[in-house]
Amino acid sequence: MECHDIRKNLSAYLEGMVSPEDQELIDQHLASCRACSTALYELNRTDRLLKNLKEVEPPPWMTQKIMARVREEAESKKGFIQKLFYPLHIKVPLEAFATVLIAVVAVYVFRAVEPEMKGLQPPSSQEPIITRQEAPYPAKAPAAETQAAREKAVPQESPTKTIAKDLAVAEKEIQKRARVDEEGGGRKFKDPPPPVSEIKTLPAPPPTSPSTAPKKEAAVPLQTEAPRMAESRTAEKAASPPAAAGVAPAQEDKRALAEGAARERKVLKKVQPMAPSPRMAAKAKAEVMDFLLRVRDVRIAGGEVESLLNQLGALRINRVSRENDEIITAEVKAEKMKELSEKLKFMGEVEEKDARLGSIEKDTTLRIEIVPAR
């Protein structure tokens, strides 16, 4: 064995990890080779130096520091699942989330059910009331009565209801003129007006009255002005004997006028004792505004106006259909008034009997009369 090989094995030799044969060879070589025995000595010293190295002591804070980090790690690890589901402690996250979730779900459920609940509630007084009164077409007494009731409601209204009064004033004007007419013709028509039975017995005015001709002229335009000519004629037919066949047209006109006035008074008498209807009470609450809407088809326009009023949230919609016209009354909110008037203008020719439409600042009862276009 060369020195080189011996030195390679010295470490193992020191540890007794060489075969007995190698150990003998090394022993023999070491005895004769000074350099190799010195190397063995140095190796031994080195080993001793390493084994004698002083152990270092961990700093006193070491354990605590390690455990602090470990606990921090443990907290954050269990934090997610255990903090959420473990009882006790202050588990704000899960409870708070659950509470919010319940609240949100409750709101959604309530919203989803709300429309159905509304459907179940009995219609309150604030709900729009849509009534459609279909009058029989050859206007008979009931129709006349309905109309009269509407018209005669005017005197019962409070003094502020000026718009509706306009109509009443116009009608009174007619009556007055008719009265003057009659008086001019030698007839004495004193208030209170005679009941219908009295009128029936009245003799026809003398055809030779000198003022008849001019008064007839006055009466004709009045007839066109009077909005209820159809009814007037019906009333006339019912009230007057048919014996007037041979009477001159002038006379017939005059008599019709007189009797129309009488009929109106009669109806007024009949209506006055009636208790005010709910519709009248509603009218009394708000201003009344009249529109005249001229359209090509009265029925279609009536339906359109009715649905428009519904859209605008109008209350107490009341529609009365008659032979030639439709009358719709409704309470409309002030802020919807402008929109309503705009839309009505699209449907046909609108005549506002009162020009204050733009300046209305509170809820108003509208009365829209739909008549065929001229």
Partner 1 sequence: MSNRVEERIQTPADDDSRLVSSCQQGEIDAFEALVKKYEKKMLNVAYRMIGDYDEACEVVQDAFLSAYRSIKKFRGESRFSTWLYRIVLNLSKNRMAQVRTRGAREAYSIDAATETEEGSRRMDPPDEGPSPLEQMEKKEVDARVQGCINGLDGEHREVLVLRDIQGFSYEEIHDILKIPDGTMKSRLFRARDALKECLKKVVGDL
Task: Give the binding site for partner 1 (CB under 8 A).
Answer: 7-8, 10-12, 17, 39, 41-43, 45-47, 49-59, 62-63, 65-67, 69-71, 73-74, 78
| CA atoms of 224 and 216, how far apart (whole Å) | 13
CA-to-CA distance for 176 and 295, rounded, in angstroms? Answer: 32
* CB of 34 vs partner 1, minimal distance in Å: 13
For residue 247, which amino acid is it? V
**Taking the complex as a whole, how short is the minimal distance between the CB of residue 8 and partner 1, in angstroms?**
7
C-beta of residue 256 within 8 angstroms of C-beta of residue 236: yes
Q: Which residues contact 360 (CB under 8 A, 6 or more apart)?
A: 287, 289, 334, 337
Beta bridge partners of 363: none
Cβ-in-10-Å burial (0-12, 13-18, 19+) of 60 comes to exposed
Of the two residues 65 and 285, which places its CB atom closer to partner 1 in the complex? 65
- Which CB, 65 or 296, lies closer to partner 1? 65
Q: Which strands form 364-372's sheet, in the order they lie side by side? A: 131-134, 315-321, 326-332, 364-372, 287-295, 349-352
- Residues in the chain, overall count: 374
Going by C-beta distance under 8 Å and a sequence separation of 6 or more, which residues neighbour residue 215?
Answer: 181, 184, 185, 254
Tell me whether residue 42 or residue 173 sits nearer to partner 1 (CB atom).
42
- What does the DSSP 8-state code read for residue 60? T
H-helix or E-strand spanning residue 331: strand 326-332
Query: What is the b/e burial string over 25-46, where b = at least 16 CB atoms within 10 angstroms of the residue's CB?
Result: bbeebbeebeebeebbeeeeee
Which residue number, 30 or 167, has a Cβ lying nearer to partner 1?
Answer: 30
Taking the complex as a whole, the smallest distance from the CB of residue 82 to partner 1 amounts, in Å, to 10
Query: How far from the centroid of its chain's Cα atoms is residue 347's Cα?
Result: 23
Q: Please name the residue that has the structure tokens 């006035």.
A: 261
Quick one: 56 or 90, whose CB is closer to partner 1?
A: 56
Task: Give the residue among 330, 320, 294 at the shortest CA–CA distance from 143.
Answer: 320
Question: How far apart are CB 83 and partner 1 at their closest, in Å?
Answer: 14
Q: How far is the CB of 9 from partner 1 (least distance, A)?
A: 8
The least distance separating partner 1 from the CB of residue 100, rounded to whole angstroms, comes to 31
Least distance in angstroms from the C-beta of 81 to partner 1: 12
**Cβ at position 60, least distance to partner 1 in Å:** 11
Least distance (Å) between residue 94 CB and partner 1:
21
Which residue lies nearer to partner 1 by CB, 41 or 97? 41
Nearest to partner 1 of 7, 228 (CB atom)? 7
- Our CB check for partner 1 shows the closer of 11 and 156 to be 11
Q: Which is nearer to partner 1, 35 or 107 (CB)?
A: 35
Considering the complex, what minimum distance in angstroms separates the CB of residue 72 from partner 1?
A: 9
CA distance 91 to 80: 11
User: In this complex, which beta carbon is closest to partner 1, that of residue 26 or of residue 370?
Assistant: 26
- For 332, list phi and psi in degrees, rounded to 5: -125, 140
Q: Are 302 and 328 in contact (CB under 8 A)?
A: yes
